[in-house]
Amino acid sequence: MVVCAPSDSFLAHRFVSYHIASRLSAGGSWVSAVGSLGAQRLDRLLLYDAGIYLIFTPASVALAAFIAGLPLVVKPIQTALEGRQLKAIEFAGTVHGASGWTILRHITLPYVRPQILSGLLLGVSRASGEVGITMMVGGNLSGKTNTLSLEIFNAVSRADFDAAAALCLILSIFTIVIFAILEGIRRRTPAE
């Protein structure tokens, strides 16, 4: 809890807003880089003069989805690339005279294809349920930057629980489909 004198109210507001925003973001690194300037001010300082508008645009929603899903995309691929079996097969290809590009095309990419697909599906799944980052950088502007998960949030805020339940059902079906695809990929992938 932050207790401040009345003269410190502006600083206290900035401090509390910064810490709440950094907890809402995935990792808080983007918010940490922005600091007390605020995302919109940074956007205006760096990009506005160049004619690039990022905050409160569909591009910012895509960026938020990318940031939210990136760790779930990278980790399965990284784990597959660090596997002993892949390293042994790549080494065998090198011993038999295959070039780096040949090894990449015929050994590495086919071997990690299931992990790439799994990572992409996990990233899309994570991004589809993201509310915090999307609301911060997208602004939740009706018809412009709201997503399905933000629409659920809006329906609950309006006390329109029937609409929220219907949207939750759509999101649940989407998640079940992704889970089924991931399970199919897992069953076809040989264990190491």
Tens-place pLDDT, residues 9-49: 343 334 334 434 444 444 444 444 444 445 555 555 556 66
Question: How many other C-beta atoms lie within 10 A of the C-beta of residue 150?
Answer: 21
**Cβ atoms 54, 43 nearer than 8 A:** yes
Least confident range of 49-58, 74-83, 135-144: 49-58
Q: Which two tokens stand for residue 45?
A: 């300082």
The rounded mean pLDDT for the chain is 76
Which is more confident, 180 or 9?
Answer: 180
**Cβ atoms 107, 89 nearer than 8 A:** yes
pLDDT of residue 149: 86
Taking the chain, what is the end-to-end CA distance rounded to the nearest angstrom?
Answer: 50
Task: Give the alpha-carbon dihedral of 69, 54, 31, 61, to 10 degrees.
Answer: -30
Residue 105 has pLDDT above 50, yes or no: yes
Task: Give tens-digit pLDDT for 111-161.
Answer: 999 899 989 888 888 888 888 888 887 787 777 778 888 889 889 989 999
Handedness of CA 164, 170, 173, 174 (dihedral sign): negative
Residue 62 has pLDDT above 90, yes or no: no
pTM higher than the cut 0.75: no
Residue 101 has pLDDT above 90, yes or no: yes
| Residue 48 DSSP class | G
